[in-house]
Amino acid sequence: MSDVHALTELQISLLRVLWERGEGSAQDVHEALAGERDLALTTVATLLARLERRGIVRHRREGRRFIYRACVSEREVRRSKLREITETL
Cα 27 to chain centroid distance, Å, stands at 13
For residue 82, the model assigns a pLDDT of 86
Q: What is the pLDDT of residues 36-57, one digit of tens each?
A: 989 999 999 999 999 999 999 9
Closest residue by Cα to residue 6 from 71, 70, 81 = 81
- The pTM (predicted TM-score) of the whole model is 0.88
Q: What is the pLDDT of residues 4-27, one digit of tens each?
A: 778 999 999 999 999 999 999 999
For residue 3, the model assigns a pLDDT of 65
Go through the domains of the chain in sequence order and give each one's CATH number: 9-88 (1.10.10.10)
Give the CA angle between residues 58, 59, 61 to the nearest 5°: 165
